[in-house]
Structure 1
Amino acid sequence: MPKAVNRPSGLRAEQAALTRARILEAAREVFELRGYGGARIEDIAVGAGVAVPTVYKTFTNKKTLLAGVVERAMTGADYAGDVDEQDWWQEQLREPDPARQLRLIARNARKIYGRAAAVLEVLRASAPLDPDIATTWDDVFAQRLRRSHRTADTLLAKAGGRARFDAQETAVTLLSLTRPELYTEQIGLGRSPARYERWLGDVLVASLLTGG
């Protein structure tokens, strides 16, 4: 009897999660193609294969939908929490070798921005036009800053005398060199994502450690 009661609930939750993922993927494509102002919920609904009211029921409005798209793109997961909860981010934090840690940071930046750079640009460009979108953009920056400080602390703990800077300068350097705008610029100048990763790893190691 309990199974008969619980099964529909589990099925509904699974169907809701799949619907949410389809809406987010369709929304990402529409936002990237048309920008925030040009994106229409009707087009997103068509892309997701759902009715327009389903989009509103799931995300309330276009602003919260954009925020959901950004979160999904940053983490690479449908239900994700924060970037620093992901296994691939924790891997760089736990890496015992400081140079290897910096190269894992470069790998992670390439992975994140390969998914998220375009929609982050939509978010950045729209932020001056709407206070709620501006808050989302500020939250993205605040989370990046927090992760940079956390990474800097672990890097200095293992780098010892090889560290070029103190924790504050290390965090600021990490934040500056892993900006999404820099990824977009490098790709626009002809670097492949793989070359971006190698370049960023080399720059981080040379900037933050002595002795290579």
Structure 2
Amino acid sequence: MSQTRAYHSPVRAEQAERTRAAIVEAARELLIAEGFPGATVQRIAAQAGVNVDTIYRSIGRKGDVVRAVVESAISGTPQAIPAPQRDYVQRIVAAGTAGEKIDIYAAAITRILSRLAPVFAALRDASRVDVPSRELWQGISERRARNMRDFAADLRATGELRDDLDDEAIADVIWSMNSPEYWILLVEERGWAPDRFRAHLADAWRRMLLR
């Protein structure tokens, strides 16, 4: 009996992962196309090809699904990944100079924002009428701020930062420019290519923050 369970467990886990990925992708598409009101659990289930009960079982209620979409946009996978475990964060920590760290992060945040900005627009609109959506975005914004303080401290350790800016100021500058709002202004409204956006972030942060 135990051998049968051990044999089938990886298969069930893989199937559950595929189901979750399908639900998250369907919810993402509906949020972008229809906005928060149109992305009902029933429509998400229909688009993902699953039952409504499957969504409740595997992820939760609509607010949980929206959170999963946002976390997926940040991590690039169906699951949330804590910042210290992300590949680009580990490469930043391992990099030897502040310039290298900035370049790695500018490239990473460009990839993240290309996924997150469309979802953010839907979440921003939802936050005006839906308290859980507002709390979700506020929580993610505060988490970004904490992560940027860690990034500032890592940059400071190189000895290359300006002495007239403390870590809080450094973190605030980076936090304001790695936001979906900044991406929307330059890429979506002004038509910048993502690579131009990445180069702009790296150049601006080098000029503003390093000696």
User: Structure 2: which amino acid aligns with 1:166?
Assistant: D
Separation of aligned partners in 1, 2:200 and 2:119: 23
In the other structure, the counterpart of 1:70 is: 70
**Preserved CA contact (<8 Å) 2:110 2:197:** yes
In the other structure, the counterpart of 1:198 is: 199
Q: 3-state DSSP class of the match of 2:192? A: coil
1:161 deviation in Å?
5.9
1:116 deviation in Å?
1.1
- Comparing 153-162 and 108-117, the one that deviates more: 153-162
1:101 deviation in Å?
1.1
Query: What does residue range 11-160 of structure 1 map to in structure 2 within 5 Å?
Result: 11-160=11-160
| Structure 1: runs of 5 or more not aligned | none
- Comparing 173-182 and 117-126, the one that deviates more: 117-126
1:41 deviation in Å?
2.3
Q: Deviations over 1:110-153 (max 9, x none)?
A: 01111111112222221232222222111111110111000000
Q: 3-state DSSP class of the match of 2:100? A: helix
User: Structure 2: which amino acid aligns with 1:204?
Assistant: W
User: Structure 2: which amino acid aligns with 1:92?
Assistant: I
Q: 3-state DSSP class of the match of 1:81? A: coil
Separation of aligned partners in 2, 1:148 and 1:203: 16
**Preserved CA contact (<8 Å) 1:164 1:208:** no
1:40 deviation in Å?
2.5
1:157 deviation in Å?
1.0
In the other structure, the counterpart of 1:170 is: 170
Q: Alpha carbon RMSD of aligned pairs, Å?
A: 1.7
Residues 198, 160 of structure 1: CA spacing in aligned structure 2 closer, same or farther, 3 A cutoff? closer
User: Structure 2: which amino acid aligns with 1:157?
Assistant: A
1:104 deviation in Å?
1.4
Residues 157, 4 of structure 1: CA spacing in aligned structure 2 closer, same or farther, 3 A cutoff? same
- Comparing 98-107 and 3-12, the one that deviates more: 3-12
In the other structure, the counterpart of 2:210 is: 209
User: Structure 1: which amino acid aligns with 2:168?
Assistant: Q
User: Structure 1: which amino acid aligns with 2:89?
Assistant: W
1:89 deviation in Å?
2.0
Percent identity, aligned pairs only? 30
In the other structure, the counterpart of 1:185 is: 185
Separation of aligned partners in 1, 2:154 and 2:110: 21
Q: 3-state DSSP class of the match of 1:132? A: helix
TM-score by length of 1: 0.92
User: Structure 2: which amino acid aligns with 1:208?
Assistant: L
TM-score by length of 2: 0.92
Q: Deviations over 1:48-79 (max 9, x none)?
A: 12123222322332111100100011011222
Separation of aligned partners in 2, 1:128 and 1:59: 24
User: Structure 1: which amino acid aligns with 2:119?
Assistant: V
- Comparing 181-190 and 5-14, the one that deviates more: 5-14
| Structure 2: runs of 5 or more not aligned | none
**Preserved CA contact (<8 Å) 1:148 1:174:** yes
**Preserved CA contact (<8 Å) 1:164 1:207:** no
